Amino acid sequence: MKTARKGGAPDPGAPWDEIAPGLWMGGHHWADAAGQRRPVVVGAEFDLVVSLFSATGHGPAPGVPHRIVPVPDGPLNAGQLAAVQEAARAVAAAVGSGRTVLVRCRSGYNRSGLVVAQALVELGASSAEAVRRVRAGRSPWALHNGLFVEYLDVGLDVARLLVSLEALDSS
């Protein structure tokens, strides 16, 4: 039995999972076969680590490039959507050049799923295919934040514009 988390989502059954060749997705905790919650500590397994959430003691090892892009697991503003796009482009470029990349967030489902899916879009997948690949590779719980799937469906450029217009309208 996997440990249930906030929102009913269980801890993932692996520290990280490969979504596409060289593109990995993970979190900061996972549940082993006995259901025990374990910390994920990244060493030097990857050429680049992108963290949408970070916590002391979870790595990566010194010398491994680590890009920290803090975003909430909720509605994103235009600046946060731009940061997601920039991170996804960096991930796609690294994977495209043969580097291994881990994208992670707190549980390894939503924020990391958004960046990984957008990186797959940057690499030529449709948004629907990207979401399918993230869920098939990581967990059916991946991208259970429906707003993030909506961002992908309309495209992050359009989502940024809509969020910006909404912010103007409410001021």
The model's pLDDT over 34-80, given as tens digits with 9 standing for 90+, comes to: 999 999 999 999 999 999 999 999 999 999 999 999 999 999 999 99
H-assigned helices in the chain: 78-96, 111-122, 127-137, 146-154, 156-169
State the pTM of this model: 0.93
| Cβ atoms of residues 100 and 46 within 8 Å | yes
pLDDT class for 5, splitting at 50, 70, 90? very low
What is the mean pLDDT of the segment spanning 4-12? 72
Find, among 119, 140, 141, the residue nearest to 130 by Cα. Answer: 119
Across the range 85-107, mean pLDDT stands at 98
pLDDT at 148 over 50: yes
What is the pLDDT at residue 2?
Answer: 37
